Amino acid sequence: MKYFSQFMLLALAVAMLLGLQYQYWLGENGHFASKKLLTQVADQQQLNDNQVTANNLLRTDVYDLKNGLEAVEEHARLDLGLIKPNETFVQVSTAPTTYSRY
């Protein structure tokens, strides 16, 4: 009878250990769920950093447009094709050059 109670105590301890291990590895807030969540946080942080960089660039552009005429002129030249009086317009083709023999 003495060995039976020790066996039952050991079986209970093993069952509790297995239950705790299950909760640690596969539970709702377990190890794998935590790793997945940390990966999602890192991905979102990367997206946020990229957006912060884009926002800073736009903020700088808005500041230049509000405070200087150079930025306005640059946008007018690039977007609207501004050519000042007495300027010569030169267009450079970026198409690949092909040669043919006659």
CA distance 38 to 33: 9
pLDDT score at 102: 67
pLDDT score at 45: 98
Per-residue pLDDT tens for 34-58? 899 999 999 999 999 999 999 999 9
Residue 102 is inside which H or E element, if any?
A: none
Which residues, in sequence order, are CB contacts of 31 under 8 Å at separation 6+?
24, 25
Q: What is the pTM of this model?
A: 0.52
Per-residue pLDDT tens for 61-98? 889 888 888 888 888 888 888 888 888 878 788 888 77
Angstrom distances, CA of residue 35 to CA of 29, 48, 49: 10, 20, 21
CA distance 17 to 4: 20
